Amino acid sequence: LKSDWLARIGQAADEAALEEIRVAALGKKGEISLKMRELGGMSPEERQVAGPALNALKDEVTAALAAKKAALADAALDERLRAEWLDVTLPARHRRAGTIHPVSQVTEEVTAIFADMGFSVAEGPQIETDWYNFDALNIPGHHPARAEMDTFYTHRSPGDDRPPHVLRTHTSPVQIRYMEAHGAPCRVIAPGRVYRADYDQTHTPMFHQVEGLAIDRDISMANLKWVLEEFFSAYFGTKVRTRFRASHFPFTEPSAEVDIQCSWEGGTVKVGEGNDWLEVLGSGMVHPKVLQAGGIDPTQWQGFAFGMGIDRIAMLKYGIPDLRAFFDSDLRWLRHYGFSA
């Protein structure tokens, strides 16, 4: 009887088969259980022999079941380890990760620096009306600035005499849109794409600007200079001095072009040192007519505005000589400057 059960246990292929054997031997109606029940009907002499023998059998079968169960679990684990084997010494398969384009990176940086100074962020449409791009900014129809800006006009079918839309030539129209929507006081920057028909090493027909606008009761050019020096120093990570040159824009009065201090050394520009100057933006006090166009009373409010080339300050920071490369989508170029994996 004993060798029979031990043999069956030894042959069990899995845990389910093993459980069947356990029930058949030790379950309520199992063979060994039934035999133990028969002990009651035996004479004391018979019982003295059969009792210990049956108990020993029960113990041995129980132990054998447990041992087999452990062996089956071991085998299952071995099998899993074999199947899930992994060679950690194999060279990894290289995956190329996309990255944020340098112009987007710089836009985010610029936005974060101005946000720290309390500026909100606004955006406007890239296809603009004549009104927002020109007239509201004190550039009437005959104004030479319209011609100078190399404006892209949208096409109108013959007979459609609505005024044409333009691809905005600067981010300044967002000044008007923001004034209309939020009134005064306000502090906002507006980054985005702008368009002019121009193409050479430092000009592409699409480029990026960030507009700045701050309106309050007594905002002055001194506030503008502080904000800009603060911005450039944070952006370039070193104290940067600015130089204001008198200029003219129809939408600011007075107007100034702003240069930052730099040095030219063997063709490379270093910002924040030296005796050279580099023009980076146009600015001024918002013209009363422009405030009016935006629905703000120029007898109560005044403010400054500026427009800065994002691509240009990106070129300066990363030492990139040709603006066009920014928009060629050439992965070799992006990788060379560390902009892509």
Nearest in space to 122 (alpha carbons), one of 216, 187, 195: 187
Indicate the residue whose CB is closest to ligand PHE.
307
Closest separation between CB of residue 249 and ligand PHE, Å?
4
Going 306 to 192 to 136 to 119, the CA torsion angle's sign is negative
Site stretch for ligand PHE (CB under 6 A), options 37-45, 52-60, 99-107, 279-287: 279-287
> How far is Cα 25 from Cα 170, in angstroms, rounded to an integer?
91
Query: Is the distance from CB of 186 to CB of 215 less than 8 angstroms?
Result: yes
Nearest in space to 188 (alpha carbons), one of 212, 220, 218, 215: 212
Q: Is 307 in the site for ligand PHE (CB under 6 A)?
A: yes
Name which position in 138, 252, 261, 340 contacts ligand PHE (CB under 6 A).
Answer: 252
Q: Is 232 in the site for ligand PHE (CB under 6 A)?
A: no
Q: Is 250 in the site for ligand PHE (CB under 6 A)?
A: no
Closest separation between CB of residue 141 and ligand PHE, Å?
18
Q: Is 231 in the site for ligand PHE (CB under 6 A)?
A: no
> How far is Cα 179 from Cα 19, in angstroms, rounded to an integer?
81
Cα 236–chain centre separation: 22
253 is in an annotated binding site: yes
Q: Is 133 in the site for ligand PHE (CB under 6 A)?
A: no
Site stretch for ligand PHE (CB under 6 A), options 30-38, 70-78, 277-285, 328-336: 277-285
Cα 188–chain centre separation: 22
| 3-class state of residue 335 by DSSP | helix
Name which position in 8, 68, 168, 170 contacts ligand PHE (CB under 6 A).
Answer: 170
- Chain residues that interact with ligand PHE, rule: CB under 6 A: 170, 172, 249, 252, 282-284, 305-307
